[in-house]
Each structure stands twice: as C-alpha cells, then as structure tokens.
Structure 1
Amino acid sequence: MSSDAVKILKTNSDVDFNMGSKTLIRIASNILKSPTEVKFRSIRIDSKAFTEKILPFDGAVQCLMEMGFQEDNDRFTLAMTNNLADLREILRQLQEAFETQNKKVSPEVMISQKNIYQRIVSHFQHSFIYENKSLQRKEKALVPFDKLTARAHTKMTHKQKPDTANFQHFLLLEVLSWFKRDFFKWMDKPICPNCNNDSNVENTGMASPSDEDMIWQASRVEAYVCRKCGKSLRFPRYNHPEKLLETRKGRCGEWANCFTLICRSLDFEARHVMDWTDHVWTEVFINKWDRWVHCDPCENACDTPLVYEKGWKKKLSLVVAANANQVIDVTMRYTVDPKSVTQRQMTMFDRKWLDEQIDLLNASAVSSMPPQRLKELRRRLEVEKQELSSEKRVSGEYGGRTSGSIAWRLARGETSKDGAGPSSAPVLKSSAIEPTEAELTKGIVKLRYFSHTNEYTRSSNNDETIYDWQSLVFISQGIQLKEELDWKMSYLCRTGDSDRSVVMWRVQLPLGVHFTEGRVKVESTTFESGKVAWLASSDKKTQVVEPGKAENVTSVCCGSRVFSITASLSGGEGDCAWQKSQLFRENTETPLTRPSFVLDLRFAKKSYF
C-alpha cells in the first residue's frame, strides 16, 4: 500500500524532498545493515540531523512514524523487537520516489523494477525452505547415497590419480546423473489416464488452484483436455519441494527446486538460480575450486555456464542466485557479451538501485551469522566478484537444449542453430585396463557394457559392476553419453564441437604374460552419411572389426602384451551431424538383455622353451 507520508514528502520542493528523503533513506539503511546497533535506532530531537533535515519538511516525521519510530521524551526510537517489515516498505517507497524525482525513470522501468524486486524477495524467501532439517532428512532417505558414493570413487580412481579433495565434484556429477536418469521425469503435458498417452492432450489455458494446490504453493494450474476421450486434466505447478518428492515430475522449475533441496540434504552448499528469460537451475560450491559451479539437472550439465547463451541462443538479461545466506546477481557468469546484456538491463532497472536492494537483503540475512562464517562468506564474495567481472572465453561449441520434447524446445527457440565445426575437444587419457589377481589366476579378462544403465560388468572379476562408460576408456576425444528423453534411447556419440571423434579401450598385461586368444563384439548405428569405423590392434597387427557380430581377434592379440579396440566416429550433415554416428544404441525402457560391447581376452605366462 502506498505510504501517505511518502506522498506528502513528495509535495516538497525538489531540493527539500532530496534532503529529507536522503536522510530518511540513510537512517533506514543503517538499521537494516546493522539491525542490532542501538545507536542507529535512536534520533535526538535536538540533533542537527533532525532539526535541519527532517523536521522542516512535510511528511518526513510521518515517514519515521510509519517506519515504526515512536516519540520517547527527547528522541525518536525504534524498538529492538520491531520486525522491520514496515521500515523496509517505507524505505523501498522512498528509494523509488527518489529515483523517480532525480533520474526521471520511465514509468515502464519503474514497473519493471517493482516486479524485479518482488521476484527477488520471493526467490530469497523461498530459498530458506532448503534449510529445513526435517525436509532434508526426508529427501536424503530417497537418495541411493552409498551407490552414488561408490560410483564417484570408482570414476575418480579410473580418471586420474586418487585425490580425495576432488571427490566432491565426482559425487556431484553422480547425483546429477542419477537425478535425471532415475529420479525425476520431464513433463510437457499430463498423460491421459484413459488413453495412457499424451498424443491427443492439448492445453486449454489455466485452471483455478484448489485448496490442496495452494498448500503446496501451486498458484498456477495448467488446464488440458484429451481430444480423443474428452477427459479434462490438470497440471498444478507445485513450488514446494516436499510435494515434488512425491510427484517427481515437472519442467525446469520443479527440477531445479527439488534438485537444490537434494544438494542441501547431501551437505553441498547450494543456491537456487533464477533467469529472467524463463529458466532455473542450481549452483553448487566446490571447495577445491573455491567457486560456485553451474548445475542444470534438466540437462545433466555441470560447469557449462555459457550453454544458455551459446547453445540455446538465449538473450540473457538478469540471472540471480539465492540461498539462505545471500542473494547475488550472477548474470555475468553466463555471458561472453556483457555489453549487450548491460544494454538490456538498462531497459529493465537502474544498476545502482538493484545493487542497493540486494545489499539490503543480504544485510538482513547475515545479521545473526557467526563471525567466522560471515568472514568466510565475505571472502568468497570478493573472489566471486572478481570472477564475474573477468572476461569469459568460449571453448568449443554448445548444443541446444535437450530437456523437453522437440516441439516444446523449438517453440521456445532453445535448440542449437549451429553445425559442428573442427574438433576442439580435448584428448582425455586414462590408464589401460590391467588384470586383477583373480583374473591373472584365471587367465581371462572379460568385460561387457550396457549403455541403458551406463555400466560395465567385469564377469572375469566376480561380476564386478563398474559405473560410467569413461571409467575403463583409455583414450577419448569428443565423445559423450547421450540420452534421448523423447525417443527413450541411450548411446555414445560425438560432442557438438567435434566433426571426428575417437574412443579407445586398451588392456595391458604385466611382463611375462601374453595374450593367447581374443574375441570382441561391438554395436554401432549410423544415419544418413554418418560413419563408424572399428579397429582392433596390438603392437604387432591391426584388424578391421565389423559391428553386430562376434569377431575373432586372436590373430591380432596373440603373443602381445597390449590389445586395443578403437572406434572412430565421423560424417553426418546439418545441425545434428554429431548425432548421425552412434555407439551402443539401446532403448532405455525396453533394453536388450545382451550387452552392446563385449571384450573377451585369454592369456597365459610366456614360455621361453
């Protein structure tokens, strides 16, 4: 509600209004920045500040009263028990009035600033729900933590020298992958329970939320109808993460909301990120890197902040991150074109105004924070400010959005329009596969890979399960695991920045041991002009391998200590050229029982007689 006192204050001359409003703004700001400081809550009536900068101006004393100040003998005081809600509101109206009076901000920008302020405050307040310990315990009980931890350890061990300081990042990657593959489901529109599909379901507008919807913060309810059977359907857009633990479906809002809570339940420091071009995601603090990392659960993407601008072709304007500790404008983390972003921002808000609003919100958040924690947050903030102001460089190319149906993505303009260019992907090299003690005793290494679960089974080592295709790869360049949610397919393919990609598996035996026989079976699929070439090799010989059947490679490996199987992917045209050559393509809902990659090698100690 508009303040009568502020309205009266605005009737003064410009000079008098500026003096009075600046004094009142300073008083209120000092209190919000240091709410426990008694001196800021007391104003002597005979002080120069009061007699010269408040008392002479119509409405100024009334503003103090509306803030919550009360006359107390020779001074005006604000009680320590005051919750400061009225003070914040009067301060906001004073700041708006001052900006309007002095900068002549257009009515459109004033309306925009009001909406921005309301969204940021709502965003900040919502972030406190992620600190609910009871909710965190409920969430954590649903996470297969031991399984994800084991996978993270395995992946970390196979990717590089063991380094426990980096485990946090590997665990985050596993949580991201699990959340998308197994826990949460994308929903463009509801499925008709009569027809058991959504092919005839159409949106008819919005429906009124029920009392139950409002309990779970679903103020928006989308209405649908099945054109085939006539059934009316509803899609409440729940904003309470506890309800999302039950439904486990939605679009980016629901995904990021639930994922942020999961991160907090696993003791990651996380914050919820809101983009003014209609997307949301999460940021997680990685201790080893001393920085916040972009995490998009919809895309299973980690530390790729430029994907929205470069891949989705978004014209970013404002991106705000929030948790219970702070609010921060992180827009510049997500752009390589700060000049264009700044120009868009000028049509939305005044930069100084936004910084002041954020500073005031943060001041209230840290008012009761322990000194050591406050010191650490301030250190991090300084580091982050330097990062945000630094120049960003594009490495490689970014694909378009993958979450949601193709039609939905095209309607939003979030598919990549760029084709693949020369490969700039790094060459990743790890350790060769070496036989365990058990395998040396048996004289066999046998591996099977299933892409629908992204797991190897090492049947020669007591059916050991090894998660992630990369775990046993010796060399790869420009290769990724792709999951098509529309078509329910999973496979390995090129990344968007590669016109030719390579992946190699290698088995290496210890001195005094050599291969005696070998078989391999590989699967690959090509579309249009896509190409896949398989090659088996040792230090003595090479052999082309045909996909789709078991190949005897004894002539290649026999007598050698090293054996490799390599796939080269190339070809394809258009925006999706990278997708036209695939390895290990499987249906994720009705997967084949047979593996899409088998490596079966026999060996023995070398005889010199």
Structure 2
Amino acid sequence: MDKDLLRSVDLLKENEEQVRNDAENALLTVCQNILSHPNDKQYREVRLDNPMVTTKLLPALGGIECLFDIGFVETSDCLSLPQEAPLSKLRALQNLLNKSSLPTKAPTVKDTALYSLIPATSTEKQKKFFLSIIEFFQSVLRFEDPSLQEKAKKVIPIVDLEIATMTRLGQLHKHVKLFQTDSQKDVEKQQDEHDDAKDLFLMELLHWFKYKFFTWIDSPKCTACFSECKQQEMMLSDDPRCTRIEIHRCTRCGTRVKFPRYTDPEPLLTLRRGRCGEWANVFTLLCRTLGYDARFIYDHTDHVWTEVWSIHEKRWIHIDPCEDVMDRPLMYEKGWKKKLNYVIACSKDEVQDVTWRYTCDQIGVMKRRNICSENKLLQFIESLNQYRQSSPHYSFTRRQYVTKRRLIELVELIHVPNKRDFDGDEYYGERSTGSYEWRRARGEISESNTKINYSWDVSKYGETFHLQYSVVKDMYKITDDNGTVLMKISGWQHGTKEFEGGMFRKVEHDWKMTYLSRSPGIICGKIKWYFVVANPNLYLKTFHLQATTKTFHEANISWDVEALFDNANQNKSVVLPISDVSNYRTYQLKGATQLILTATVSGGQGDSAWQHAQIFRQSLENEDDRSLVIDIELENR
C-alpha cells in the first residue's frame, strides 16, 4: 500500500465530521466514475472551479492530497488523471475510504427473551418460520438509532425534495379547485394541505431514491478488468452487519469478487447498492429518519419492501423502492405472478400479518399457508406485540394509539371484493429490477406476448391532441395547446395496445441511461400504440411524431403507422413506413379514424444483441425528457 496515500487518508480523519464526510463522498465519486468509465476522458478531469473541489475537497485536510497520491496532475484549469496512470491506486483509495466510513460495531443487541415466545410444540419448520419473524422484528429497531438517523439525514436532499413537492402540490391544487366551492376550499385547505404534502414528499423521496441514490446489483463488475461476473458460491460472514458474502467470478479473467450482503443499513448509506433487501432496508430507515411511521415488509416467498402510515389516508401505504411503485399492493400477485402465502409487517411497535392486503385470491393463499395453524401464528404474533409494548420505556399513550390504528387496519384487511380486484393483470406490470435471467429464474416475468389494449381517444380534448412520454420518469402526459397537463399515466406499457418479445424498460445505473429494449435471447420485439377518433363528427387531419432512438452493432429499429378509415370503406387501411422518427409529419392519413403506431426492434451482435436496439434512449440526468412526442390535428367531417 502506498505510504503517501495512507497518510493522506489519515489526514482526512482529522477534519470535522461533516467536512470529512463531504470530502470522502467526493473522492468516492471520482474513483467510481473513473473505474466505471476507465477510457472516458471526461471522468479523468476535475475542473478546479468545480463545486466538488471548491466546497468539499479544498476545505478538507488531505482531500486534494488524495487525488495527487492516486496519480492526478495539475494542468492550467483542472486536475487530470493521465491515461497511463494505474487504476490500482484508485481501487486502493476506494477500499480505504469504504473501510474508514464503516463502523465495526454490531448493529443491534439481540433480545434473547423473544426466542422463549416460540411455542414449545413447534416443529422444526415452524421454529424456522417464527425465528425469521423474530429476526426482522428485532432488526427494525436499528432504524430508531438517533446517530444512524443523523447520518441518514445527511444523504437526503431535503430542500430539493421539498421544492419538487411544492411544485407537485401546486399542480394538484390547480386541478382540484375547479371542482370545489369556496366554502369547501377554506375548510379543507388548512386541515389537508400538510398531510397532502407529506404524502407527496414521500413520492418525491421514492423517485429520488430509485433513480439518483441507490443502485441495483445482480453481480458486481470485475475489480481487475471491469467485465461481467457470475455468482459462484456463498460464504458466511464474521461481520455482524452482514449475513453472508457472495463470491462472484469474472467471466473474462477469472478474478474472484466479493459481494457482502449487508443487513445493517449504516454501511449501505455509503455503498448505496444491493438487491431488494438492501433497498428496503435503507429506504425504511430514510422514512423513519424523516418522521414517517414506517415498517419493513417481509414476503415469505422471497421479497421485501416498505409500508408507511398515511395520516391523510388513515391507512398503511404499500411502497416498493426497487420499482418506484407506491400504493399498488396487488402488483406482486397480478403483475409478478407470485404465489403468496405469508406477508409479515414489522415495525418498532408491532408485528402484523398483512397478507390480505396483497392478494385477492384468498382461497389460493389459504391452501399455501401450511406452515402452522392460523391460530398458532396469531397467538405468536400477539405474544411478540405484548412483549414489545409492555417494555418499561413503551408509553401508555403510544400503546393506545397503536391499538386504535391496528383496529382500523384489521377492518381494512377483511377481504371484500373491490374495484382493484378486477383490474387486469397487465395493469400491474412485470418486475423491472434485476437481469432478465434473474427475474425469469424467479418466475416473476412472462415471456408471452402481452395485450394491454389501451386506446388513446384523440378527440377527447378538442381538435388537437398532444401526447408526450418521458422514459426517465416512465410517464405519459397529455397537454393542451398551452402546455397545461390534462392527464398522466405512469408506466410505458400502460399506454400501449400490445407488446411482444419481452419488451421492458432498462435502466443502466453505471452509464446513467434508460431505454426500452427487448429481452435477452429474443430475436425481435414490438410495441404498438393505438389512437382512435371516438367523436363521430371528427377525423384525422395531420399526424406528427418525434422519438429518440439509438442503435449499435447493426441493430435495427423500424417504425410504421397504420391508418384505418370508416367513412367510405370500412375495410380500407393504409400502412406508411416511417424512415425518420426524429421529426415525422404526414398529411397522407387525412380522414382516418384509427391509427396504430408500431416500433420493431431487431438485430445486433453477440449475447448483448438485445440491447443494441434502444427505443427512447435518454440520460437519467435529463429533467426535461420528451422521448416520444405525438401531435395530431383533427377536423370536422
């Protein structure tokens, strides 16, 4: 190890905590950017007037020294890492900073008295199940650590999220006030605005967490040559913050790469990567840090997520940080095709069996709940709750509040067929996080063609129709001529007629790009959008299309639009190929009452051919993303 580098890292420790944290995070960012893009010149240069240098590295003793120690040299207006500089020093600095920022203490002290609550008559299978509930029930107390919450608070861009929340709240009020009387506005505004803002802030926090903070990892990149790795084995860990260590082997050079699976959220605040366990762990911590009543949800069929109590709604809200999905509890059963059995919620207050919030197939679930009797599970949960709420530091007022809230929830969990039970499976969509092979192995995606049959009524808004889709936000919106948003639909697939070839939204966190592509191993993929003129007094005059695409290695993306006419000949149709989607306009479809827009992806080379044809490719940093724009003019018949 380079002695100068060790000395500079030791100097960093002499700074005040905030200064040291800022400098370490800046240095980690520099290292990660270069190691992820070793041949990209822009990541090897850091301008001297960059705020990262002026506000984070220069004020810290040892900050700039670390850059020089790993090979950076000073030019006229920037610090630059020469192409010939060894990357081993960057990896060494990265390892040193990760070790210095991670505590070595055990995350929580286990309360062994809880284990005595396991029924003496339990079988080995039942004991294992009850032990898993106890483990989660104890682990959530880690979220209550004040020092940990203080660290978590420093990573949340609270001001930025508050600004985004106020913007969203203003748009919401603009739409709502049109349908309220003045007296209603005066009474409801004061009592609801604060609670509305809390729920909306949660939406902004969720979106930020998914796209700007945390990274999904199926398998880490090779630390030697940056090639893909595949998991080879697993080993137990001596670190109490970590349940196990996965060993991945590079498919190119054979290097073994360790991937620790942390259950303690503290190191994850720095590492910011993992799979659903790490995601739910950190997101639940952030919610508790911000004062939300949040709990960790454990699905016995192997998934975890978060629930947050909404004061405004007076109910628990389902939140899946991996998917950026909020309040869509049937997603797992209907979208992912999961065969649920036990879904258990754990918070600092209580354990709750919340399975019935996540299913509308009560009969099927009951057949799969065969670990123990319902009465035995209920008695065990009650014993855990009584133990926790009878502790010396648990207040009587809090116990009353939790009991009242639980009664409200139990009424909600009584299965009564409702509207959401009849939503089609396609409304929920398949799982988006994780590689195609990983999702397919878990049975959480379907390889069959998917028919949504959504139709856009272009005559609903007068004689002009303006549709935009953002692949970054994964949202459609319809606007009027002045740009005012009239309607939004979340999820690219929910605005389509049908799609095939396992089309999905791919997010490349290392390159910070996102796009739609076909699934691996699929030769061809298609997406179709359907537009109809429902008003019998109107028909189409002009059609205008703009879309962003990108192809690599002889891949191909073709577009065409099919028009159907019902005025002279009901069977008449015209199909026009679209050679340039960057700015396509046509008058040849005049008189049409239905349009079907089709995008087809194919070609490419090698095992990665599936991602060489990318529809709507955009940078995740693009805040004003308009990946797809469709403008349609109508006229009277």
The interval holding the TM-score normalised by the smaller chain is 0.5 to 0.7
> Contact between 1:586 and 1:592, CA under 8 Å: does it hold in 2?
no
Cα distance in structure 1, aligned partners of 2:615 and 2:251: 38
Alignment partner of 1:289 is 2:313: yes
Q: 2:142 aligns with which of 98, 120, 129?
A: 129
Alignment partner of 1:161 is 2:161: no
Q: Relative to 1, partners in 2 of residues 1:342 and 1:203: Cα closer, same or farther, differing over 3 Å?
A: same
Q: Relative to 1, partners in 2 of residues 1:172 and 1:594: Cα closer, same or farther, differing over 3 Å?
A: closer
Identify unmatched segments of 5+ residues in structure 2. Answer: 1-108, 178-191, 477-482, 519-526, 533-541, 550-554, 564-574, 588-593, 602-609, 632-637
AA at the equivalent of 1:122: E
Alignment partner of 1:222 is 2:218: no
Q: 1:209 aligns with which of 237, 249, 252?
A: 237
Alignment partner of 1:548 is 2:581: yes
AA at the equivalent of 1:485: V
Alignment partner of 1:193 is 2:212: no
Identify unmatched segments of 5+ residues in structure 1. Answer: 1-82, 101-108, 433-445, 457-463, 494-498, 505-517, 535-543, 555-565, 574-578, 601-609
Shift of the alpha carbon at 1:220?
0.6
Deviating more after overlay: 226-235 vs 275-284: 226-235
> Contact between 1:317 and 1:344, CA under 8 Å: does it hold in 2?
yes
Please name the residue that 2:267 is paired with. 243
Alignment partner of 1:327 is 2:355: no
AA at the equivalent of 1:365: R
Cα distance in structure 2, aligned partners of 1:150 and 1:503: 36
Alignment partner of 1:357 is 2:380: yes
Cα distance in structure 1, aligned partners of 2:617 and 2:250: 31
Please name the residue that 2:443 is paired with. 413
Shift of the alpha carbon at 1:570?
6.3
Q: 1:389 aligns with which of 398, 411, 414?
A: 414
Alignment partner of 1:379 is 2:394: no
Kindly report which structure 2 residues correspond to 1:491-570, keeping only aligned pairs within 5 A, or say none.
Answer: 522-523=546-547, 548-550=581-583
Q: Relative to 1, partners in 2 of residues 1:420 and 1:208: Cα closer, same or farther, differing over 3 Å?
A: closer
Cα distance in structure 2, aligned partners of 1:448 and 1:409: 30
Q: TM-score, normalised by structure 2?
A: 0.58
Alignment partner of 1:275 is 2:299: yes
Cα distance in structure 2, aligned partners of 1:501 and 1:519: 14
Q: Relative to 1, partners in 2 of residues 1:531 and 1:267: Cα closer, same or farther, differing over 3 Å?
A: farther
Q: Relative to 1, partners in 2 of residues 1:224 and 1:355: Cα closer, same or farther, differing over 3 Å?
A: same
Please name the residue that 1:607 is paired with. none
Cα distance in structure 2, aligned partners of 1:286 and 1:594: 31
Please name the residue that 1:604 is paired with. none
Kindly report which structure 2 residues correspond to 1:282-321, keeping only aligned pairs within 5 A, or say none.
Answer: 282-321=306-345
Shift of the alpha carbon at 1:318?
0.9
Q: 2:507 aligns with which of 474, 479, 485?
A: 485
Please name the residue that 1:366 is paired with. 389
Please state whether the residue corresponding to 1:316 is helix, strand or coil.
Answer: coil
Tell me the number of residue pairs that the alignment of Structure 1 and Structure 2 aligns: 449
Please name the residue that 2:152 is paired with. 139
Shift of the alpha carbon at 1:170?
2.3
Give a deviation string over 1:343-376, Cα, whole Å, max 9, x none: 2222x11221111111111112222433333222
Q: Relative to 1, partners in 2 of residues 1:366 and 1:202: Cα closer, same or farther, differing over 3 Å?
A: same
> Contact between 1:274 and 1:319, CA under 8 Å: does it hold in 2?
yes
Q: Relative to 1, partners in 2 of residues 1:593 and 1:383: Cα closer, same or farther, differing over 3 Å?
A: closer
> Contact between 2:210 and 2:322, CA under 8 Å: does it hold in 1?
yes
Alignment partner of 1:179 is 2:209: yes
Cα distance in structure 2, aligned partners of 1:273 and 1:241: 15
> Contact between 1:519 and 1:550, CA under 8 Å: does it hold in 2?
no
Please name the residue that 2:617 is paired with. 586
Cα distance in structure 2, aligned partners of 1:448 and 1:86: 56
Cα distance in structure 1, aligned partners of 2:629 and 2:374: 59
Give a deviation string over 1:231-284, Cα, whole Å, max 9, x none: 111111011101111111111111110111111122221100111111111111
Q: Relative to 1, partners in 2 of residues 1:377 and 1:263: Cα closer, same or farther, differing over 3 Å?
A: same
> Contact between 2:335 and 2:431, CA under 8 Å: does it hold in 1?
yes
Please state whether the residue corresponding to 2:243 is helix, strand or coil.
Answer: coil
Shift of the alpha carbon at 1:571?
8.3
Cα distance in structure 2, aligned partners of 1:335 and 1:281: 16
> Contact between 1:285 and 1:292, CA under 8 Å: does it hold in 2?
yes
AA at the equivalent of 1:366: Q
Deviating more after overlay: 230-239 vs 382-391: 382-391
Deviating more after overlay: 133-142 vs 287-296: 133-142
> Contact between 1:399 and 1:416, CA under 8 Å: does it hold in 2?
no
CA RMSD in angstroms, aligned pairs only:
5.4
Shift of the alpha carbon at 1:153?
2.8
Q: Relative to 1, partners in 2 of residues 1:86 and 1:276: Cα closer, same or farther, differing over 3 Å?
A: closer
Q: Relative to 1, partners in 2 of residues 1:122 and 1:87: Cα closer, same or farther, differing over 3 Å?
A: closer
Shift of the alpha carbon at 1:532?
6.0
Higher gyration radius (CA): 1
Please state whether the residue corresponding to 1:268 is helix, strand or coil.
Answer: coil
Q: Relative to 1, partners in 2 of residues 1:235 and 1:593: Cα closer, same or farther, differing over 3 Å?
A: same
AA at the equivalent of 1:167: A
Cα distance in structure 2, aligned partners of 1:345 and 1:188: 30
Please name the residue that 1:558 is paired with. none
Q: 1:110 aligns with which of 123, 132, 135?
A: 123
Please name the residue that 1:261 is paired with. 285
Q: TM-score, normalised by structure 1?
A: 0.60
Please state whether the residue corresponding to 2:257 is helix, strand or coil.
Answer: strand
Q: Relative to 1, partners in 2 of residues 1:381 and 1:449: Cα closer, same or farther, differing over 3 Å?
A: closer
Please name the residue that 2:72 is paired with. none
Shift of the alpha carbon at 1:377?
1.6
Please name the residue that 1:40 is paired with. none
Q: Relative to 1, partners in 2 of residues 1:529 and 1:383: Cα closer, same or farther, differing over 3 Å?
A: farther
Quote the sequence identity (%): 32
Cα distance in structure 1, aligned partners of 2:441 and 2:628: 38
Shift of the alpha carbon at 1:584?
7.4
Cα distance in structure 2, aligned partners of 1:521 and 1:270: 44
Cα distance in structure 2, aligned partners of 1:351 and 1:151: 45
Cα distance in structure 2, aligned partners of 1:455 and 1:343: 38
Q: Relative to 1, partners in 2 of residues 1:502 and 1:148: Cα closer, same or farther, differing over 3 Å?
A: farther
AA at the equivalent of 1:588: S
